[in-house]
């Protein structure tokens, strides 16, 4: 039997600082809800707005796959591996923290806000060598289609992670219907509406709503208006092999 969990946009954790406004789908920082710790290996889903020239100074991570998707503006990245990059709308960034890494993230612009989604996943193996990657995506590939942007396979479309997970982005015109078939029926699927609204089965989802589904082999999506959707297919088992 299928299981569902609905996270309405207004129910997320929220924090506003002088330079940062953020919403947390799952428990993070000062937001704690024992019912919302994770969805399988999906541990963090932060929706951030960073003021011009501001950001997060050098800070550590370990044994986490960190995916950043800019929605507006430019984000500047530096890390302890020597990587320096500026990513922007239409790109995706991945960092495998593995046995330990430091990095910083700043708004590259002096005049405009940067808006982004940052997603953390537990890896399937501990203490791997830290790794950084980024990729420019072709937005035409997701028009009325689910474009694969992340997978477990370095030779597959999108960036890759140390986890049996697949992410897809789609932008749909009003009244478009599309089916998503699970890569692994044992996985769960977390659906996040970036913009617009859509109907998943009988459930209507609106802007920034999240919807987790387990025990389904495929889903039917109906766009109620012009809509942008992020699909995250992830294992529900959070155990990690030792590196």
Per-residue HEC secondary structure of 134-192 comes to EEECCHHHHECCCEEEEECCCCCCCEECCCCCEEEEEEECCCCEEEEECCCCCCEEEEE
Q: State the pLDDT at residue 48.
A: 98
Q: Which residue has the tokens 């011009």?
A: 52
Q: State the pLDDT at residue 239.
A: 84
Q: Which residue has the tokens 């509406």?
A: 193
CA nearest neighbour of 69 among 36, 51, 52, 44: 44
Domains of the chain, first to last:
3-234 (2.60.120.10)
Contacts 24+ apart (CB under 8 A), 24-27: 25/192, 25/210
Global pTM reads: 0.96
Distance of CA 27 to the CA centre of its chain: 15
Q: State the pLDDT at residue 241.
A: 77
Question: Residue length, the chain?
Answer: 243
**pLDDT tens, 42-51?**
999 999 999 9
- Neighbour tally for 20: CB within 10 Å: 15
CA distance 162 to 152: 6
Instruction: Print pLDDT tens along the chain (243 aa).
Output: 789 999 999 999 999 999 999 999 999 999 999 999 999 999 999 999 999 999 999 999 999 999 999 999 999 999 999 999 999 999 999 999 999 999 999 999 999 999 999 999 999 999 999 999 999 999 999 999 999 999 999 999 999 999 999 999 999 999 999 999 999 999 999 999 999 999 999 999 999 999 999 999 999 999 999 999 999 999 999 987 776
The answer to whether 185 touches 217, Cβ cutoff 8 Å, is yes
CA nearest neighbour of 213 among 231, 196, 197: 231
């Amino acid at each position: 039997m299928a299981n569902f969990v609905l996270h309405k946009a207004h129910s997320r954790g929220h924090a506003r600082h002088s330079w940062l406004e953020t919403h947390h789908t799952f428990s993070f920082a000062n937001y704690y809800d024992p019912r919302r710790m994770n969805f399988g290996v999906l541990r963090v889903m932060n929706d951030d707005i960073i003021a011009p020239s501001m950001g997060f100074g050098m800070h550590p991570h370990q044994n986490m796959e960190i995916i950043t998707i800019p929605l507006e503006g430019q984000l500047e990245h530096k890390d302890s591996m020597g990587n320096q990059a500026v990513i922007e709308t239409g790109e995706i960034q991945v960092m495998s923290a593995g046995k330990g890494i430091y990095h910083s993230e700043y708004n590259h612009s002096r005049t405009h806000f940067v808006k982004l989604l940052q997603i953390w996943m537990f890896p399937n193996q501990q203490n791997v060598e830290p790794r950084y990657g980024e990729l420019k995506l072709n937005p035409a590939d997701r028009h009325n289609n689910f474009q694969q942007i992340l997978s477990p396979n370095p030779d597959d479309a999108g960036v890759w992670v140390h986890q049996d997970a697949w992410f897809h982005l789609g932008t749909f015109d009003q009244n478009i219907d599309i089916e998503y078939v699970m890569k692994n029926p044992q996985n769960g699927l977390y659906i996040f509406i970036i913009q617009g609204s859509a109907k998943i089965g009988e459930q209507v989802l609106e802007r920034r709503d999240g919807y987790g589904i387990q025990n389904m082999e495929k889903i039917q999506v109906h766009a109620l208006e012009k809509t942008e959707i992020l699909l995250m297919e992830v294992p529900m088992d959070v155990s990690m092999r030792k590196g």
